């Protein structure tokens, strides 16, 4: 496996740094940073609006970016809506769907707040009825649990393809099949899935797929909602404004019918170009290589955590990315994170915006989370293990 550290300016600037916080946000390779700044250096104009040369070039760059990001998840360009992030994409689905015929929305208690909060709000206001699948003592919900909860009253099944607290990768293709067998739609929170293994929107047969560039080597402030074209007309946009209409008179608004209906206002063009560059980078590396690399690191990390006597949360023998939440007995999670920081090891601590999931897994006061990506090495994981052994000995 090629050592990629030299391609990431942050890692060159901080050569001793072990960055294990990629589930929060990933580092960016030089190619992505250059692509993003190329918009400001070379284009600068609005896309999809102005007909002057720079405007046309910006439009072409953005549409090329749309094609490449959509292709990354095996979708077509006209199925992709730009969003700020996964959170916004999920909110567009939550608040845009019509729940008048079917009200029930099935999800799990192990989701990120970006999933739970919008649908809990709709539930509280009586617009939708939220039902949670049952999870076992390790916090895992298997396919049977999903099949029990999904029925012919279900409007939507919404869940993650990769869990940000346990690292578990769900078989979303099977969940989509169960949903469709019951006439329900399926929305996948791909924030932690799309960056780590090949996502195939068409073959897995999702209705909606939400993901963020910043967790997959791309810029912050840009994400995507990929949806089947037949879902677009029935979904209400979250915000309205410039660039979303065919004609407007003071009596009547005639909206456009395609993805632009969801992209009101001037957009984050540099982010889109950077997002596409991140997809190109991952594609050239090969998603099967990303997955294999993380699989190996996950095994090594679990070994190191167990050798340090850490309490590791969530199921262990399941498909996963190289991400673990854990605690050191007797130590506060934030203290452990700060002690690791002193050793130049960056991890996250707390509830990771998934408090019910952490509590279900037994981490009532939160935990420490270490998460890898393509630039991490066995050496990084070993550094974490050695530092944790030292910390463990203090308690």
Ligand X SMILES: Cc1ncc(COP(=O)(O)O)c(C=O)c1O
Shortest Å distance, C-beta 308 to ligand X: 25
Phi/psi of residue 61, each to 5°?
A: -65, -40
Shortest Å distance, C-beta 282 to ligand X: 17
Shortest Å distance, C-beta 86 to ligand X: 4
Alpha helices in 73-169 (DSSP H): 86-96, 113-124, 143-149
**For ligand X, which is the closer residue by CB, 59 or 159?**
159
Shortest Å distance, C-beta 259 to ligand X: 19
Among 22, 86, 154, 327, binds ligand X (CB under 6 A): 86
**Which residues inside 341-360 make contact with ligand X, applying CB under 6 A?**
353
**Which residues inside 153-182 make contact with ligand X, applying CB under 6 A?**
160, 164
Contact call for residue 192 and ligand X (CB under 6 A)? yes
Cα–Cα distance, 65 to 58 (Å, whole number): 10
Please identify, among the stretches 189-197, 246-254, 260-268, 270-278, the one whose residues bind ligand X according to the rule CB under 6 A. 189-197
Contact call for residue 207 and ligand X (CB under 6 A)? no
Contact call for residue 325 and ligand X (CB under 6 A)? no
* Number of chain residues interacting with ligand X (CB under 6 A): 12
Say whether 91 sits in a helix, a strand or coil.
helix
Among 87, 244, 267, 376, binds ligand X (CB under 6 A): 87
Shortest Å distance, C-beta 191 to ligand X: 4
Q: Which two tokens stand for residue 107?
A: 């999800």
Please identify, among the stretches 58-66, 71-79, 81-89, 379-387, the one whose residues bind ligand X according to the rule CB under 6 A. 81-89
**For ligand X, which is the closer residue by CB, 112 or 293?**
112
Among 20, 191, 194, 358, binds ligand X (CB under 6 A): 191
* β 311-312/253-255 pair status: unpaired
Please identify, among the stretches 32-40, 82-90, 232-240, 267-275, the one whose residues bind ligand X according to the rule CB under 6 A. 82-90
Contact flags string 7-46 toward ligand X, x per CB under 6 A: ----------------------------------------
Please identify, among the stretches 12-20, 80-88, 97-105, 382-390, the one whose residues bind ligand X according to the rule CB under 6 A. 80-88
Cα–Cα distance, 378 to 383 (Å, whole number): 9
**For ligand X, which is the closer residue by CB, 85 or 327?**
85
Among 27, 114, 156, 199, binds ligand X (CB under 6 A): 114
Shortest Å distance, C-beta 21 to ligand X: 11
Q: Which helix (H) or strand (E) holds 57?
A: helix 53-72
Instruction: Tell me if 155 sits within 8 A of 185, measured CB to CB.
Output: yes
353 classed as catalytic: yes
Residues 6+ apart with CB under 8 A from 17: 10, 11, 344, 345, 346
Cβ neighbours of 288 (radius 10 Å): 10
Q: Which helix (H) or strand (E) holds 112?
A: none
Shortest Å distance, C-beta 193 to ligand X: 8
Q: Which helix (H) or strand (E) holds 220?
A: none
Give one word for 350, left, alpha or beta, with left for phi > 0 and alpha for psi -120 to 50. left
Cα–Cα distance, 227 to 271 (Å, whole number): 20
**For ligand X, which is the closer residue by CB, 207 or 308?**
207
End-to-end Cα spacing for the chain: 37
Cα–Cα distance, 1 to 294 (Å, whole number): 11
Beta strands in the chain (DSSP E): 18-19, 80-83, 104-108, 129-133, 154-160, 185-189, 208-212, 223-227, 245-248, 253-255, 311-312, 323-327, 345-346, 348-350, 367-371
Cα–Cα distance, 363 to 380 (Å, whole number): 25
User: Considering 24, 46, 279, 353, which one is annotated as catalytic?
Assistant: 353
Shortest Å distance, C-beta 374 to ligand X: 17
Please identify, among the stretches 84-92, 287-295, 332-340, 363-371, the one whose residues bind ligand X according to the rule CB under 6 A. 84-92
Catalytic residues: 353
Summarize as ranges the residues that interact with ligand X (CB under 6 A): 85-87, 112, 114, 160, 164, 189, 191-192, 212, 353
């Amino acid at each position: 496996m090629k050592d990629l550290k030299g391609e990431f300016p942050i890692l060159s600037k901080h050569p001793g740094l072990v960055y294990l916080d990629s589930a929060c946000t990933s580092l960016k390779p030089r190619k992505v940073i250059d692509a993003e700044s190329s918009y400001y250096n070379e284009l600068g104009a609005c896309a999809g609006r102005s007909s002057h040369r720079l405007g046309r070039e910006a439009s072409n760059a953005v549409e090329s970016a749309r094609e490449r990001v959509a292709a990354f998840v095996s979708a077509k360009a006209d199925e992709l809506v730009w969003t700020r992030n996964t959170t916004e994409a999920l909110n567009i689905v939550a608040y845009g769907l019509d729940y008048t015929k079917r009200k029930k929305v099935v999800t799990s208690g192990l989701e990120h707040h970006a999933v739970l909060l919008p649908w809990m709000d709709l539930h509280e206001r009586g617009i939708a009825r939220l039902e949670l699948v049952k999870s076992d003592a390790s916090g895992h919900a298997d396919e049977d649990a999903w099949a029990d909860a999904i029925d012919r009253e279900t409007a939507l099944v919404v869940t993650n393809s990769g869990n940000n607290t346990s690292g578990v990768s769900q078989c979303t293709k099977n969940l989509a099949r169960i949903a469709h067998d019951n006439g329900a739609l399926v929305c996948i929170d791909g924030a932690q899935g799309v960056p780590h293994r090949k996502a195939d929107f068409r073959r897995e047969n999702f209705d909606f797929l939400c993901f963020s560039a910043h967790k997959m080597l791309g810029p912050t402030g840009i994400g995507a909602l990929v949806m089947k074209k037949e879902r677009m007309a029935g979904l209400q946009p979250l915000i309205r404004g410039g660039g979303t209409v065919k004609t407007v008179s003071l009596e009547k608004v005639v909206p456009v019918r395609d993805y632009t209906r969801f992209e009101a206002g001037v957009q984050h063009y540099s982010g889109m170009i950077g997002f596409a560059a991140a997809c190109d980078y991952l594609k050239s590396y090969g998603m099967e290589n990303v997955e294999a690399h993380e699989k190996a690191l996950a095994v090594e990390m679990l070994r190191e955590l167990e050798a340090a006597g850490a309490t590791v949360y969530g199921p262990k023998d399941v498909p996963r990315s190289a991400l673990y939440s854990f605690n050191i007995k007797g130590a506060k999670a934030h203290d452990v994170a700060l002690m690791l920081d002193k050793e130049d090891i960056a991890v996250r601590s707390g509830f990771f915006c998934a408090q019910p999931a952490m509590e279900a897994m037994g981490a009532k006061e939160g935990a420490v989370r270490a998460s890898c990506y393509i630039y991490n090495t066995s050496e990084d994981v070993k550094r974490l293990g050695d530092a944790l052994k030292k910390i463990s000995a203090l308690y």
